[in-house]
Amino acid sequence: QVQLVESGGALAEAGGSLVLSCAASGLVFSAATMGWFRQAPGKEREFVAAINWNSEISSLADSVKGRFTVSRDNAKNTVFLQMNSLEPGDTAVYYCAVGGPRLDNSLGTHPYEYRYWGQGTQVTISS
At 103, is the pLDDT very low, low, confident or very high (cuts 50, 70, 90)? Answer: confident
pLDDT of residue 101: 74
Rounded Cα distance, 84 and 1, in Å: 33
- Rounded Cα gap, residues 76 and 17, in angstroms: 22
pLDDT per residue as tens digits for the range 49-96? 999 988 999 999 999 999 999 999 999 999 999 999 999 999 999 999
> At residue 29, does pLDDT exceed 90?
no
Number of other residues whose CB lies within 10 A of the CB of residue 127: 7
The percent helix, strand, coil of the chain (3-state, each to 5) is 10, 50, 45
pLDDT confidence tier of residue 28, bands split at 50, 70 and 90: confident
**Sign of the CA dihedral with 23 first, then 25, 31, and 32 last:** negative
5 burial class (0-12, 13-18, 19+ CB within 10 angstroms)? middle
**pLDDT reported for residue 46:** 98
The mean of the pLDDT values for the chain is: 95
